A and B are shown apart, each in its own frame.
Chain A
């Protein structure tokens, strides 16, 4: 089945620790995105990538880092610099950026601080 897979479903972070959220897609999409969802708020863009080996900061990139070494994979690292990391993180992909195509979302990762 074609789709976008996020793992793990739940993740716990200790203070001062970096954690990495995985996002893999087999849809052959060029564009991939990371969003953060907090209760009662719209999704906010953390980072996006329109092509392999290139990525851009979104609206709330501070305390996060990404890489795009392969077309299929776009992992997100939540660093210790992110002081309020508890949120639901969603990865998405689209065939090509800035088009009228559908955004496909993964099932999300809930990150909590211990």
Chain B
């Protein structure tokens, strides 16, 4: 069954600290893996897209990694800011399907 799991479900960190969000998937065949940021009441916004051959991609303070052998990805946020508070969604693309994970809710507090 094609599935995308994310952990933790929610996370609270202090402003300025780093954090890492995890994504495990069983989607096959695999085409790409995307991380999205979704602010409350808004549509998701793309952070990174990685294909099978890529194992890391950065977008400012966001760095995504991909291990296609173990079917795991992580999103590392460096020097967190209050504006990083959002839901982070891992999305895995197959041949003709896009499977969304349930998201990790991140709260950054002062």
Contact = CB atoms under 8 A, between A and B. Distances in A.
B51 interface: yes
A108 B102 contact: no
Given A100-B31, A100-B93, A103-B34, A42 B101 contact: yes
A45 B94 CA distance: 14
B11 interface: no
Nearest to A40: B102
B42 interface: yes
B36 to A, nearest CB: 8
Interface residues of A, number: 23
Interface in B63-109: 89, 91, 93, 95-96, 98-103
Contacts of B4: 42
B32 A108 contact: no
Contact of A42 (B31, B34, B96, B103): B103
Interface of B: 4, 9, 31-32, 34, 41-46, 49, 51, 89, 91, 93, 95-96, 98-103
Interface of A: 4, 6, 35, 40-45, 88, 90, 92, 97-98, 100, 102-108, 110
